Amino acid sequence: MTNAPADTQAAPQASDQYVQSLARGLAVIRAFDTEHPVMTLTAVAARTGLTRATARRFLHTLVELGYVRTDGKTFALTAKVLQLGYAYLSGLSLPQLAQPHLEELSLKLGESTSAAVLDGTDIAYVARVTTRRIMTIGITVGTRFPAYATSMGRVLLAGLSPADLKAYIAAADIKPLTPRALGSAKELLAVLDTVRAQGWCLLDQELELGLMSVAAPVYDGPKVVAAVNVSLQAQSVAAKPDPDAYLSSVAEEIVATAKLISADLTARG
C-alpha cells in the first residue's frame, strides 16, 4: 500500500450534490491500510489532511457505528468495514466477479484465461480474456465443448456427487477427439480421481492438437460451481527450459486465482 496521505487521492469536483462530510468520513476509513493498521489521532489527521478536532469527530462517529475500535489512544478498523465491500459484491454475477481475476492472471502469465460452468454434458464459457487465438475454433462467452474433453469440464465433473457423475456418464457420448485423448468412461473416471485428489487438471492436446490447458475449481461454500483455466500452446510449453516446472507454476497460479474468485463468491453469499 502507498505511504501517501489519504487526501492526496484525486477528489471529485465539488458540486451542489457533493457531501463533504461523507467524503471526509471515507477519507478517514481509507487512511488505514496494511502499513498503517493502527494509528493515533494525530496520525489520522496527518494522513487525511484534517484538523485534529475534525478527525476526532469522524473517528468517534465511526467508533459508535462499529467501523472503528479504540483503546483510548489509538484507532483501528473493525471487521464491520467489510460489509461495505460485501454490499458491492452481492450485486455481481459470477462472470463479473471472475473477470478482473482472469484479467490479472492473463496479464501475469501472458496467456488466455477463461471461466466456465457445467451445462448438461457440456461446459459453457461465461468469462474469457484472450491474448491470442490458439485454437482453430474461436472461443467466446457462450462457446460450448464436451465437458469430458476439457480441463474445466473435468474439474467440474470431479466436483459432482457420485449420483450426478453417474448420470453424466450415462448421458455423455465419450469418444476421443484427438489421437492423444481418452475415449472411454473408465479412463475418464480414473482421470477424475486424479483431478479430485490434486485439486486441478492438466489437459494435454485432448481437445485439439497443439492446445494444452490447466484448470482449477471455483467454490461457492462447499460446492464446485465453476472452473477457471489457462490456455497454453503445447509447442511453447515444450520450448521452456523445464516444461514440468513451468506447468506446475501455472497450476499454482490458476489454483490461487480460483481461490480468490471463490472467496468473492463466499463473501457475496
**Structure confidence at residue 18 as a pLDDT band (50, 70, 90):** confident
**Structure confidence at residue 7 as a pLDDT band (50, 70, 90):** very low
pLDDT, tens digit (0-9, with 9 covering 90-100), for 46-73: 999 999 999 999 999 999 999 999 999 9
pLDDT, tens digit (0-9, with 9 covering 90-100), for 213-247: 999 999 998 999 999 999 999 999 999 999 999 99
pLDDT at 79: 84
**Structure confidence at residue 15 as a pLDDT band (50, 70, 90):** low
Q: Where are the domains of the chain?
A: 6-87, 90-268
Q: Output Rg (C-alpha) for the chain, integer angstroms.
A: 24
CATH number for domain 6-87, candidates 3.40.50.300, 1.10.10.10, 3.40.50.1370, 3.10.20.30: 1.10.10.10
pLDDT, tens digit (0-9, with 9 covering 90-100), for 98-133: 889 999 999 999 999 999 999 899 998 988 988 866
pLDDT at 88: 52
- Report the 10 Å Cβ neighbour count for 125: 19
Q: Is 261 exposed, middle or buried (0-12, 13-18, 19+ CB in 10 A)?
A: buried
**Structure confidence at residue 6 as a pLDDT band (50, 70, 90):** very low
CATH number of 90-268: 3.30.450.40
pTM over 0.85: no
Q: Is 88 exposed, middle or buried (0-12, 13-18, 19+ CB in 10 A)?
A: exposed
Whether 6-87 shares its CATH topology with 90-268 is answered no
* Crossing angle between the packed helical segments 243-268 and 94-109, to the nearest 10 degrees: 150
Of 148, 228, 234, 230, the closest CA to residue 191 belongs to: 148
- Name the least confident of 34-38, 58-62, 190-194, 215-219: 34-38
Please tell me the distance from the alpha carbon of residue 6 to that of residue 92, in angstroms, as a whole number: 27
Quickly tell me which residue has 501455472 as its cell: 250
Q: What is the 3-state secondary structure (H, E, C) of 204-237?
A: ECCCCCCEEEEEEEEEECCEEEEEEEEEEEHHHH
Return the C-alpha cell found at 176. 476421443
Question: Strands 113-119 and 122-129, how do they pair?
Answer: antiparallel
- According to DSSP, residue 38 is labeled E
Mean pLDDT for the stretch of residues 253-262: 94
- Name the least confident of 6-10, 50-54, 193-197: 6-10
Mean pLDDT for the stretch of residues 78-95: 69
pLDDT value at 8 more than 70: no
